[in-house]
């Protein structure tokens, strides 16, 4: 805390970092006037006489009886080294994530890029041999297809890296769920997939972005369709919504092969996919959208042996200035 003498512990607020000053004053005031019996807080502090050094202090205070009088006991701990290690681990985690994402982008772009190189070489041979215009047009079509795949990967990466800010309104969760079901109804019938809809009536309204929630449900239904592609026998998808504690729960279940236990924890990682024609970003975007809503998305097995994705959106008291729908 600096050299002695001092008036009393932390009596001088001048050496506390400006960004931490308000929370320190507020916390100390609460315990000194009796609003709280225990206080735990960490803050940055510059010891007196050593302005070049900044330390992290963890402070725990609680009310005790001392010599038959009520007093406050303060415990201080220098957390500077621990904070430094935490920062180092955080940087390492970010670098590892960056490497993972970079490897995923490189993998997703390499295949269509290799195709483009092959098609360009083919075009050169066609022109040298004077091949028919029809063959040339076919190669150009393949070039365009490969280019669109790269564009799609980049667009989805950008959506993941910098998603748009949710436009929250007070709305019924069933509205965007119904929209997603309606959009997929025709394709489900053509694929021979039966869809069961079981949406709870009179659910409490939530603070949400309907378009983003619709995007999440669309992605989950499409994933269920892909999981059952080429499967013999019954193909069934169930979409339900219900009230669970302080949240609205949306469940999307299918009769597909399910997800192995070892892959469940990776499902929402960027670029993780079990499909050959997928970027592996869709579920990561869904995860981010639900987190922005203060909710939870996870996956489990259902009674059919397939996968069940569960989206939980909290019921909160929204700000009064939010529009209602």
For residue range 85-95, list pLDDT tens digits in order: 888 887 777 67
Tell me which of 1 and 173 has the higher pLDDT.
173
Check whether 319 has a pLDDT greater than 60: no
List all residues 6 or more positions away from 264 whose beta carbon is below 8 Å from its beta carbon.
299, 300
Stated as kind and residue range, the H or E segment containing 86 is helix 80-129
What is the CATH code of the structural domain delimited by 13-78? 3.30.450.20
Dihedral of the CA atoms 123, 129, 130, 134 (nearest 10)? -50
- The pLDDT of residue 11: 54
Structure confidence by residue, pLDDT tens digits, 183-205 = 888 888 888 899 999 999 989 99
CATH 1.10.287.130 intervals, the chain: 88-161
Among the listed residues 206, 202, 258, the one whose alpha carbon sits nearest the alpha carbon of residue 231: 258
Among the listed residues 110, 109, 143, the one whose alpha carbon sits nearest the alpha carbon of residue 126: 143
Among the listed residues 179, 296, 194, the one whose alpha carbon sits nearest the alpha carbon of residue 254: 194
Task: Provide φ and ψ at 228, rounded to 5°.
Answer: -100, 0
Dihedral of the CA atoms 179, 181, 184, 185 (nearest 10)? -120
* Largest Cα–Cα separation, the chain: 105
Strands (E), 189-271: 194-199, 206-208, 236-244, 247-254
| Six-digit token string for 303 | 């009674």
CATH 3.30.450.20 intervals, the chain: 13-78
Q: If you average pLDDT over residues 30-52, what whole number do you get?
A: 83
User: Which pTM was predicted?
Assistant: 0.54
| Six-digit token string for 150 | 């790269």
Q: Is 274 exposed, middle or buried (0-12, 13-18, 19+ CB in 10 A)?
A: middle
- The pLDDT of residue 144: 86
CA pair distance 259, 274, nearest whole angstrom: 10
CATH 3.30.565.10 intervals, the chain: 169-314
At 281, is the secondary structure helix, strand, or coil? coil
Thinking of the domain 88-161, which architecture would CATH place it in? Orthogonal Bundle (1.10)
Q: If you average pLDDT over residues 62-70, what whole number do you get?
A: 91
User: Residue 310 forms beta bridges with which residues?
Assistant: 251, 298
97-111, 156-170, 196-210, 283-297: range with lowest mean pLDDT: 97-111
List all residues 6 or more positions away from 227 whose beta carbon is below 8 Å from its beta carbon.
254, 256, 257, 306, 307
Is the domain spanning 169-314 CATH 3.30.565.10? The answer is yes
CA pair distance 1, 285, nearest whole angstrom: 46
């Amino acid at each position: 805390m600096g050299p002695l003498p001092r008036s009393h512990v932390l009596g001088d607020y001048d050496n506390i970092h400006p960004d931490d000053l308000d929370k320190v004053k507020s916390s100390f005031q609460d315990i000194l006037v009796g609003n709280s019996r225990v206080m735990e807080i960490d803050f940055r502090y510059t010891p007196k006489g050593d302005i070049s050094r900044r330390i992290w202090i963890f402070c725990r205070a609680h009310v005790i009886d001392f010599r038959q009088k009520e007093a406050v006991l303060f415990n201080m701990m220098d957390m500077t080294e621990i904070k430094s290690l935490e920062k180092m681990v955080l940087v390492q985690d970010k670098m590892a994530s960056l490497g993972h994402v970079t490897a995923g982008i490189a993998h997703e772009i390499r295949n269509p890029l290799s195709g483009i190189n092959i098609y360009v070489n083919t075009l050169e041979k066609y022109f040298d041999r004077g091949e028919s215009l029809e063959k040339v047009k076919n190669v150009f079509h393949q070039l365009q297809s490969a280019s669109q795949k790269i564009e799609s990967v980049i667009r989805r990466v950008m959506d993941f890296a910098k998603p748009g800010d949710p436009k929250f309104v007070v709305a019924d969760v069933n509205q965007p769920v119904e929209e997603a079901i309606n959009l997929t109804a025709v394709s489900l019938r053509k694929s021979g997939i039966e869809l069961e809809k079981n949406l709870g009536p009179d659910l409490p309204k939530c603070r949400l972005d309907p378009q983003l929630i619709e995007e999440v449900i669309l992605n989950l239904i499409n994933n269920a369709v892909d999981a059952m592609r080429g499967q013999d026998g019954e193909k069934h998808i169930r979409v339900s919504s219900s009230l669970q504690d302080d949240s609205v729960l949306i469940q999307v279940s299918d009769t597909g092969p399910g997800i192995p236990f070892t892959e469940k924890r990776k499902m929402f990682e960027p670029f993780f996919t079990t499909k050959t024609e997928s970027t592996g970003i869709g579920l990561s975007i869904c995860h981010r959208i639900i987190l922005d809503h203060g909710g939870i998305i996870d996956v489990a097995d259902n009674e059919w042996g397939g996968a069940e994705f569960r989206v939980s959106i909290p019921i909160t008291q929204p700000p009064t200035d939010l529009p209602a729908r």
